[in-house]
Amino acid sequence: MAVPIEYYLLLSAFMFIVGVAGVLTKRNAIIVFMSVELMLNSANLSLITFSSFMGNPVGQLFVFFVMTVAAAEAAVGLAIIIALFRNKQTVNIDEINILKW
């Protein structure tokens, strides 16, 4: 463990804020969705870092469940995007505002 824990956490923080910037700036629903996956992965990196440095396997189990939820979320989210595209012929999140009053 030659690399201190701080640098792993700093990389995780960097990937998280890149994901936040992607969600806020992108207008394509699929790329917004990919940025969310990036944020999920940065959280996974933090969990594995702490789990490994403390020698406790529970953090890695949690990452396993996060991956399960991410897979389910990706399948349902992309199905929603396909259904939206079929109705409105666009994936621009500014035009998909039927829930806005």
Partner 1 sequence: MTLEIILFVFFAGIAAVTAVLMITRNNAVISALFLVVNFASLAGLYLLLNAQFLAVTQVIVYAGAIMVLFLFVIMLLKPEREKSLTGIPGMKIFAFAIAFMVFVQLGYLIFFTAPSSTITPDVEASINAGTIETIGRELFTNYILPFEAAGFLLLAATIGSLILAKKKIE
Residues 20-39 that bind partner 1 (CB under 8 A): 20-22, 24-31, 33-35, 37-38
Element (H, E) at 31: helix 29-54
Backbone angles phi, psi at 92, to 5 degrees: -70, 120
What residues from 52 to 91 belong to the interface with partner 1 (CB under 8 A)?
52-58, 60-61, 63-65, 67-76, 78-83, 85-86, 90-91
What residues from 36 to 55 belong to the interface with partner 1 (CB under 8 A)?
37-38, 41, 44-45, 48-49, 51-55
The site for partner 1, by CB under 8 A, has a size of 74
Contacts of residue 39, Cβ cutoff 8 Å, sequence gap at least 6: 15, 16, 19, 20, 23
